[in-house]
Amino acid sequence: MNTETIISKVWSFSTTLRDDGVGYGDYLEQLTYLIFLKMANEYSKPPYNRKLNIPEDYNWESLTDRKGAELETHYVKLLQTLGKEKGLIGQIFVKAQNQIQDPAKLFRIVKMIDSENWAMMGTDVKGTIYEGLLEKNAEDVKSGAGQYFTPRALIKAMVECVKPEPNKTISDPACGTGGFFLAAYEYLSNTDNYSLDQEQKKFLKLSTFRGCELVANTYRLCLMNLFLHNIGSMDADPPVTRNDSLIADPGDRFDYVLTNPPFGKKSSMTFTNEEGKQEKEDLVYNRQDFWTTTSNKQLNFVQHIRAILKTDGKAAVVVPDNVLFEGKAAEIVRKKLLETTDLHTILRLPTGIFYKQGVKANVIFFDNHPASKKPWTKEVWIYDFRTNIHFTLKKSPMRLADLQDFIDCYNPVNRHDRKETERFKKFTYDEIMERDKTSLDIFWLKDKSLMDLDNLPDPDILAAEIAVSLESALESIREITKKLET
């Protein structure tokens, strides 16, 4: 069966389940459990003959032997039992629940998955199926899954600029569904970039990637996404752990950090007060290795990323605009970043590329260095990919080709040999230090829509950009209101 047919079959079933109130996220979870079990069953037989420690009473064949209410009852017990196992199995099934209440539909899904040999199926096919469903889930505004999904075109461009090398480690401390790892894996395994020997291939599969994801369901989807793309192994420790990466310095140091930390400025925790009512309290991380103490989640991630880099490590990080221009803690972080690392490139991103509304973001690229009396940053190159650039998620989504000019200007082969263009300008360290609050929110192009009223963007693009501006303004008002209440 060809790729398109398999993908069509898997996706069409999600539409059937939506009529029963089962969203893409729930469907994805059930697919995760069932495909994992089916592949484990295939790997336990010739020619693989791997011992995967799945109890015989709760293996794949225990599902195919049943139907109706008996299948549903057994499936629920299977999920509970496997969630108590060790290793990757336990991580995939921890706190798993059955979301498909119709036994007939559950039987059809089991039959659909049983009809394919998943272990023999190409990684590109399995990956395309799963990534496609992840994107569909991200598009579902009600699910809120969009905040864990970074546009794949942006991720690929960031990886191309950083140019990761074989036998080096890559971390994502907020890895969502694993998009950065997949893009880096694809780049490293591409024969146009490297010709890997067997040891390098083994390192790439088992030792290259390490990440954290705090949200349980997203963590589960990430593990399965990586596994289907040939990253990690059923009988090895998962490459991703489920914990809050900001709590402490893990001690590990990495060659590269590629990440898009969660949107939203504040870290907070919910607790029940003496009257029995729930309250929220800002979460402040008191870490000795941080330059400043703040409840601003984005600033804490920037500090954490710098802390986990090797002394010659490289980072590419998506950050919201406030990281570039706010005062107090943000200014301290910017100054320290300019001093202790070579913050050499900023990509100003257009609106309309993220699933979460109201986001104005950038990518900052910096290289770590040993301690020095002189600042490592000599000049910052800024590429304005926002002014007069218009995208929408549905009608006009951003493609990798749209970022090719930035990649060319970045010059991954030798970034020290760059030339200024209309959109690409450099600013010296001294020029930046003279700016109010050491602001890195720098732009110079004129907005044509403010000058040429006869050639405005399409109405849907205008509407989307107005929504972004309003959402951004509302966020600022919420912040002011919070400060006035305290």
| pLDDT at residue 351 in the model | 86
Residue 195 belongs to what domain range? Answer: 138-479
Q: What are phi and psi of 427, to 5 degrees?
A: -135, 130
Q: What is the pLDDT of residue 17?
A: 83
Q: Among candidates 193, 122, 126, which has minimal Cα distance to 156?
A: 193
In angstroms, the CA 475 to CA 280 distance is: 17
Same domain for 143 and 100?
A: no
Are 15 and 142 part of one and the same domain?
A: no
Number of independent structural domains in the chain: 2
For 189, phi and psi rounded to 5 degrees?
-90, -5
Residue 232 lies in a domain: yes
What is the predicted pLDDT for the residue at 270? 45
What is the separation, in whole angstroms, between the first and last Cα of the chain? 62
Interatomic CA distance for residues 159 and 171, integer angstroms: 13
For residues 115 and 160, membership in a common domain is answered with no
Task: Please report whether residue 373 resides in a domain.
Answer: yes
Taking a C-beta distance cutoff of 8 angstroms, is the pair 345, 410 a contact? yes
User: Which CATH number characterizes residue 454's domain?
Assistant: 3.40.50.150
Together in a domain, 217 and 255: yes
pLDDT of residue 479: 67
Which of 69, 86, 121 terminates a domain? The answer is: 121
Co-location of 146 and 115 in the same domain? no
- Say which residues have a Cβ less than 8 Å from residue 416's Cβ, sequence separation at least 6: none
pLDDT tens, position by position, 242-290: 999 999 999 999 999 999 998 765 554 443 445 555 455 567 888 999 9
Give, for all 486 residues of the chain, the pLDDT tens digit. 566 777 778 878 877 787 778 887 888 889 889 999 999 899 888 988 888 788 999 999 999 999 999 999 999 999 999 999 888 888 999 889 999 989 999 999 999 999 988 888 888 788 888 888 788 777 765 556 566 578 899 999 999 999 999 999 999 999 998 999 999 999 999 999 999 999 999 999 999 999 999 988 889 989 988 988 889 887 778 999 999 999 999 999 999 999 999 876 555 444 344 555 545 556 788 899 999 999 899 999 999 999 999 999 999 999 999 999 999 999 999 999 999 999 999 999 998 888 776 678 999 999 999 999 999 999 999 999 999 998 887 788 899 999 999 999 999 999 999 999 999 999 999 999 999 999 999 999 998 765 555 556 666 666 666 666 676 667 667 767 766 766
443 within some domain = yes
Beta-ladder partners of 368: 341
